[in-house]
Amino acid sequence: MNWASNTVVTSVAKFIMEQGYGCDVTVVPSDTIPAVTSVAENGEPDIVTELWLNSAGEAYLKLEEQGKVERLGKVLDPGGVEGWWIPTYLAEKHPELTTIEGVMANPELVDNRFNNCPSGWGCRVVSDNLIRALDLEASGIEVFNHGSGETLASSMASAVQDEEPWFGYYWGPTVPLGKFDMTRVELGDYDSSIHMRNQNPDTANPGVSEFPAAPVLTSVTTNFKEREPEVAEMLSKLTFKSETMSALLAWMDKNNASAEEAAVYFLNNNSDEWSGWLNESARERLAKVMEQ
């Protein structure tokens, strides 16, 4: 997936599989919805790292019911946070903007714009359905659909650095939510049935529901688990504390580092965390590599 935390998770998993278990690993660029669709149609990829269950929709749950995929464990502990946000300085100046009703009644205070998720992301489907259910655009708010996670992040950074209005979707752990003081806009109560409907593209009856706390998983095809049981066992244990991931992302940002460099940095500095993920022989092989 093309967001920062996932590139780190994928790079760490790839390094461990190659250096610890002797695997040949191919990384396939994707996003939540295309990845789930590909598994349904082609049985690939074998592994989906950092699957946000709240955004995967009924299509993923059907794959589990059909026995095609299996969730191995939480890759982020305790999980992720999703929502619609404004900068805290804006919330302090205009406290009415802390609810969606207040935002829609005062669109000029958020610069008449909602910064939406990129296409292909699960959050785009949910946000699009919320936009329809709220009739957000009728309130005078333009929906700006970002082309990538990078432009979504840079729009927030640019606004906050100049103390300008900003209103849009974001999630954590991420660099922007770690660096900037943001306030979540209250969408209302969480309703599981409404949120489930909102996870499906162009649902006939979208509703308004808050984003729940987000389980973030590693999921694999059942064929892969049967074929590579030792690797699947390792992936079931591969879990990052949310604060560990936030610190890694901050290190990447500060050092202008790649995901591969962040993976090596993590493995070099957190052996107490990752050593428990591996079996004994893989742990010994990886330790020798890290000593070089």
Q: Which residue has the higher pLDDT, 244 or 93?
A: 93
Quick one: average pLDDT of 102-113? Answer: 98
For 203-261, the pLDDT digits (tens) are 999 999 999 988 999 999 999 999 999 999 999 999 998 888 988 998 999 999 999 99
Q: Which CATH number fits domain 81-199: 3.40.710.10, 3.40.50.2300, 3.40.190.100, 3.20.20.150?
A: 3.40.190.100
Quick one: average pLDDT of 8-36? Answer: 96
Q: What's the distance, Cα to Cα, between the start and end of the chain in Å?
A: 30
Which band of pLDDT confidence, cut at 50, 70 and 90, is reported for residue 82? very high
What is the percentage of the chain residues whose pLDDT exceeds 90? 84
Neighbour-count burial of 173, counting CB atoms closer than 10 A to its CB (0-12 exposed, 13-18 middle, 19+ buried): buried
What is the percentage of the chain residues whose pLDDT exceeds 70? 100
- Which residue type does 226 have? E
Domain covering 4-78+215-291: architecture: 3-Layer(aba) Sandwich (3.40)
For 179-201, the pLDDT digits (tens) are 899 999 999 999 999 999 999 99
Least confident of 14-18, 142-146, 198-202: 198-202
Tokens at 216, concatenated: 């973030």
Q: Which residue carries 């900037």 as its tokens? A: 180
**Prior bond of 206 cis (ω within 30°):** no
Task: Check residue 174 and give its pLDDT.
Answer: 87
Q: Which residue has the higher pLDDT, 39 or 173?
A: 39
List Cβ neighbours of 74 (8 Å cut-off, separation of 6 or more).
215, 216, 217, 239
Task: Check residue 202 and give its pLDDT.
Answer: 85
Task: Check residue 222 and give its pLDDT.
Answer: 97
Domain limits, the chain: 4-78+215-291, 81-199
Q: How many CB atoms lie within 10 A of CB 87?
A: 22
For 252-287, the pLDDT digits (tens) are 999 999 999 999 999 999 999 999 999 999 999 999
Please give the full DSSP string across 14-79, using - where no structure is assigned. Answer: HHHHHHHH----------HHHHHHHHHHH---SEEEEEEHHHHHHHHHHHHHTTSEEEEEESEES-
Is the pLDDT at 118 greater than 80, yes or no?
A: yes
What values do phi and psi take at 263, rounded to 5?
A: -65, -45
Q: How many CB atoms lie within 10 A of CB 65?
A: 10
Per DSSP, 80 falls in state B
Residue 97 · residue 247 · CB < 8 Å: no
Same fold, 4-78+215-291 and 81-199: yes
Q: Which of 258, 271, 247, 213 is nearest to 10 (CA)?
A: 258
Distances (CA, A) of 161 to 39, 158, 166, 256: 41, 5, 11, 19
